[in-house]
Amino acid sequence: MTVEVTDGGGPTRPLPANPSVTARGGRGLNIITSLAEDWGVRDDIGEVTVWALLPPDDDFAHRVTIPSDISPDLGAELASGLRPSLDANLETSLGANLGPHLEAGLDPNLGTNLDANLDPNLGANLGANLGANLGSNIEANIDPDFDRELDFADLDELA
């Protein structure tokens, strides 16, 4: 099972840390390292994703709560601990239970008229509608000590 968490990223690449006992952060990747068979970091524009490959058949898998509204066959497979036999039947089980609901809920014309429904001037007047002084004093309103007030590390001091 692969688990991914994506956020806006930070000034540094995510790496396992050795936080102090009183640190408010820095333990996440150590937890991932102890649970996962493998893990990594994927960078995209404006975001960072940390992914972890969790073993399908260990004690962690047995702590997962199985929803009551899935088919009995799929529920039995999941309750058995996500063993390899699940892979063989997963597509069939999902298709039988999920497919009809998805197909019934989709508009056959979904996306065909998307461009026609968008206002052609969508972004044309965006700049005109923003205040002329919008960015003029943004810098002046930022408290340079906000990270200290929140007890975060000062990134300038760490550099």
Q: Please choose, from the candidates 22, 40, 60, the residue with its C-alpha nearest in 3D space to the C-alpha of residue 151.
A: 22
The predicted structure's pLDDT at residue 86: 45
SS3 9: coil
User: Smallest Cα–Cα separation from 75: which of 86, 61, 91?
Assistant: 86
Q: Does residue 32 contact residue 50 with C-beta atoms inside 8 Å?
A: yes
Q: What is the pLDDT, as a whole number, of residue 122?
A: 61
Cα gap 63→67, rounded to integer Å? 13
pLDDT tens column, 67-118: 677 777 777 766 665 544 445 555 565 556 565 555 565 666 665 665 566 6
Q: What is the pLDDT of residues 5-30, one digit of tens each?
A: 898 887 777 888 888 888 777 788 88
Question: pTM here?
Answer: 0.37
Residue 145 carries which side chain, given as an amino acid letter?
A: D
